[in-house]
Structure 1
Amino acid sequence: MTNGSSTDASRVPGMKTLSTGNPLVRILGGLLMNDSSRSTSSRSPVLAIFGSLVSGAALAAALLLSLASGGSEPVVTGSVLFAFGLGWGLMAFTSSRFSAQPQTWTAVPAIVLGSIGLGLIVFQPGPAVMDLLSWVWPPILAVLAIWMVIQVRGHLRGRGRWLVVPMIATLLVFAIGGGLATVSAATASSAPTATGRMIDVGGHRLYIECTGSGGPAVILQAGLGASSSSWAGIAPAVAATTTVCTYDRAGHGRSDEAAEPQDGIALATDLHTLLERAGLLGPYVLVGHSSGGPYVRVFAARYPVDVVGMVLLDAQPADAFTALPAYPGFYATFRTVATLSPSLARIGLLGPLLGLSANESTVAAARGGRDEFLALPTVLTQSSALTSLGDRPLIVVTAAAEADPGWVAAQDNLPRLSTASVHRVLAAATHNSLISGVDAAASSQAILDVLTSIRSGTPLRQG
């Protein structure tokens, strides 16, 4: 040194690391550290790191509850990436300005995540493009995470590592999960379609599988987000006496996705076309579980001559939003979950978090489930168009165990749809046990009883 006022870079904490290494980091570091006196601070970067991470998480939550609520997958994913990109950028700024360990390298993940997030929000690529990008982003994210680990080892000392490393590990988990989910979806889509058929219903194909013989044919309608596989505990028992068909609605199971979200009328039109093109002659006995109940009621209202009987298994009432005190709050909460589901499926977390099977936790199934959930208020309103089945047999089966307040009372209104109806309340049954548990036998028996009544012309028995 020739001048006492000059600063020896080797003696200033952080300056040595900025003078070597990645050129982008050096440039960004120069922009952030415009006053060398700031780098002489003895303050720990922990507070800057913690505040930045919390700020990014808070902004992500705010965007999800406002901008991205009910939005598409690109908007949801883009909002999260943009928010955390700003968090990493804030870390670069605050650690450089207020601590002795400037973490200017965090500007790189800030730029990468922030720009990708902003691009998704602005351009909102469609499902096909998002699926294609799933082959690209996992390895890129993995490389970024590994690079970030190297930067932490070289630039961050002390307790700050305990805050940053878990975030980097999360990125790596997302990369691995995303890669596995992409490969799994591609493998599943190329698998054989079991014993069923794929039938074009106008712009997309639906999967239908029929077993047994004779009539009238029984059509099983799964609940919201579920696929034909959910009827495995019921279809065989019914197939012993008649033809029984399960199918996957658009975007679920093996079926193609529809071009646009579908309401109850669109789903009824799809099913009517599917049955017609499959060569299945009506009229049919319709069976609906949960949200499948409103779907079959919409079908019956649209195509009354094609319905000869009905079984409703713990089916949603048309007045759910008013008859069930807790339902509006549940819907508002689960609306956010439904909105997040395609993004969670994209990184392979939807199935583990919600306990869904592999074919019910794909990105396509998540998109279909989200669209069905968002359309549910409309579907419930459309289902109220069915005011009477006349004297056609109807059995309503209600699961009383763990039922929400008002549920059993709301179920009491459903038998009024027919003058030939019975209501069976199963005190020990749960919503799911009616189709996948010990109470599936009672559901099968209800279907068989409706068939017997139709064939013999005798009244339904109570239980």
Structure 2
Amino acid sequence: MNTKSPTTNAAGAQPAETRPDGTPVGRVVAASLTAGGVAALLLVLVVVPGAPEHVITGSLLLAFGFGWAMLAVLTSRLTSRPQRWSTVPAAVMGTMCLALLVFAPRDAALTVLNWVWPPVMLALVAWSAVKMLAALKGRGRWFIAPVLAVLAAASIGAVTSNIADTNARQSYPATGKLVSVGDHQLHLDCRGQGSPTVVLFNGLGEFSGSWARVTDQLAGTTRVCAYDRAGQGWSEDATSVQDGVTAAEELQLLLAQAGEQGPYVLAGHSIGGTYAMSFAAKYPEQVSGMVLLDSSSPQQMTAIPSYPGQYAAMLRGLAMGPTLARIGLGPLFSSGSHLPAPAADGVQALTSTARAARNARDVIAMIPEVFQQAQALTTLNGAPLAVLTASESSLGIAGWDAAQDKLAALSFNCMHRDVESTHAGLIEEVHGAEESSHAITDVVTAVRTGTPLSAR
């Protein structure tokens, strides 16, 4: 009859994987790594939701370092196989976290660092793998190995992302010119001849190249200028995240420095509409007409019941974008493009970068203030106004139609049309872009002739 305890082997010794209390080391490993993952989610989604890239990345490193530290402490206290080697990845990640939080590097510095940390992390992964194989047996290895594999994949992905970003900048150079507006330059791409000049305002995740279908159709009838706000597309970064009024001031300076003549017809898509409204409120003498293409409403936080929840989700999600794009996951945050080639390829490449993800996060973080500033525009004083509403938004968003009607009330000289289109399709898809171009042309014609707009 076998009277040995299940916690002893044939020689009466305790298994190497347990202490006298019988705690399996594999369970401790799993609990430690899980704790690090849960801590990461809590930090980025609850504690610092929507924070800048260096804070999000630093928080993730802090949480993962906490998991490695737990592994060292708990295996030392609860098992006979202490994994003291895990204090090294804990220390490395903690140090990286501290450096990010203290120095708060911006995009240019983070881009340089994205070449530096991958070889360091790969070396750390290799060292950790050797130490793990020597110090750990059984199921514990199967919990740690995937984590090390993910860290290695992230390092390789970072190098891939760096190469892709470099290729994007070289393969798709600026289509217009860079103009100084102080301590940075903005990109402006003007085509065609004639007055009034049309100025295009980008929506979230868009840049001047996103207007390719519209600019191609308008350039034959009038002058049209697409531009990138600071941090977008080919424009340089500003020293801080900009609100709508600051963006308006820079656009006014940009147009003046480039020799463009107002007053202008402003055309904004999505949140670009609210940036156009802020410009019109600050420089009414520079605005001869306006076109709002499925535009956001300055009262969107209250006028659209679902928007506050949607905004909170977007803020959390987009804040993760730059960090994930740095490790090669940028294409996940690009919705692709329905533009014709080669414009579609350029849009896809330039909106898949960490810089584009960072700009999207910065813009969404500033949106409440941008919306509030746009409320300063209460009337266009009879200037021609065209409002296009996409069927996708009209059918899918409660309160959208009423908000669009309120936008149309900015001028008694208004044309409001519903268009069978997706939200993005108003500038990217053939039918939507044609309808947008027609609306802009109608406003241009009304300005030129001094005649009222008419429904079509």
Q: TM-score, normalised by structure 2?
A: 0.88
Q: What is residue 218 of structure 1 aligned with on the other side?
A: 198
Q: Which amino acid aligns with 1:431?
A: H
- Paired with 1:161 and 1:461, the residues of 2 have a C-alpha distance of 72
Unaligned segments of structure 2, at least 5 residues: 1-12, 337-347
Q: What is residue 416 of structure 1 aligned with on the other side?
A: 409
Moved more, 157-166 or 368-377: 157-166
Q: What is residue 442 of structure 1 aligned with on the other side?
A: 435
**Are positions 1:119 and 2:99 aligned together?**
yes
User: How much is the aligned-residue C-alpha RMSD, in angstroms?
Assistant: 2.2
Q: Contact conserved, 1:228 with 1:247, CA < 8 A, in 2?
A: yes
Q: Superposed, which structure 2 residues align to 1:12-91 within 5 Å?
A: 43-91=23-71
Q: Contact conserved, 1:323 with 1:406, CA < 8 A, in 2?
A: yes
Which of these residues, 291, 302, 309, is aligned with residue 311 of structure 1? Answer: 291
Q: CA deviation at 1:271?
A: 0.8
Q: Contact conserved, 2:174 with 2:187, CA < 8 A, in 1?
A: no
Q: Which amino acid aligns with 1:244?
A: V
Structure 2 counterpart SS, 1:335:
helix
**Are positions 1:433 and 2:413 aligned together?**
no
- Paired with 1:385 and 1:352, the residues of 2 have a C-alpha distance of 36
Q: Contact conserved, 2:334 with 2:351, CA < 8 A, in 1?
A: no
Moved more, 62-71 or 287-296: 62-71
Closer/same/farther in 2, CA of residues 353 and 48 from structure 1, 3 Å limit: farther
Which of these residues, 255, 263, 267, is aligned with residue 283 of structure 1? Answer: 263
- Paired with 2:371 and 2:219, the residues of 1 have a C-alpha distance of 30
Residues 196-253 of structure 1, C-alpha deviations (whole Å, 9 max, x = no match): 1010011110111111111111111110232111111211011111111111111111
Q: TM-score, normalised by structure 1?
A: 0.87
Q: What is residue 374 of structure 1 aligned with on the other side?
A: 365
Structure 1 counterpart SS, 2:274:
helix
Identity of aligned residues (%): 43
Q: What is residue 158 of structure 1 aligned with on the other side?
A: 138
- Paired with 1:314 and 1:128, the residues of 2 have a C-alpha distance of 34
Q: Contact conserved, 1:210 with 1:244, CA < 8 A, in 2?
A: yes
Which of these residues, 260, 266, 291, is aligned with residue 246 of structure 2? Answer: 266
Q: Contact conserved, 2:191 with 2:223, CA < 8 A, in 1?
A: yes
- Paired with 2:287 and 2:111, the residues of 1 have a C-alpha distance of 39
- Paired with 2:117 and 2:398, the residues of 1 have a C-alpha distance of 45
Which of these residues, 238, 247, 250, is aligned with residue 218 of structure 2? Answer: 238
Structure 2 counterpart SS, 1:57:
helix
Residues 57-113 of structure 1, C-alpha deviations (whole Å, 9 max, x = no match): 122222223443232222211111011111011112222332354333222211211
Q: What is residue 181 of structure 1 aligned with on the other side?
A: 161
Moved more, 91-100 or 54-63: 91-100
- For these two proteins, the number of residue pairs brought into alignment is 430
Q: What is residue 387 of structure 2 aligned with on the other side?
A: 396
Q: CA deviation at 1:43?
A: 4.4
Unaligned segments of structure 1, at least 5 residues: 1-10, 16-37
Q: CA deviation at 1:353?
A: 4.1
Q: CA deviation at 1:125?
A: 3.3
Moved more, 399-408 or 375-384: 399-408
- Paired with 1:105 and 1:411, the residues of 2 have a C-alpha distance of 61
Q: Which has the higher contact order (CA 8 A, sep 6+)?
A: 2
Q: Superposed, which structure 2 residues align to 1:99-110 within 5 Å?
A: 99-110=79-90
Closer/same/farther in 2, CA of residues 113 and 295 from structure 1, 3 Å limit: same
Q: Which amino acid aligns with 2:198?
A: V
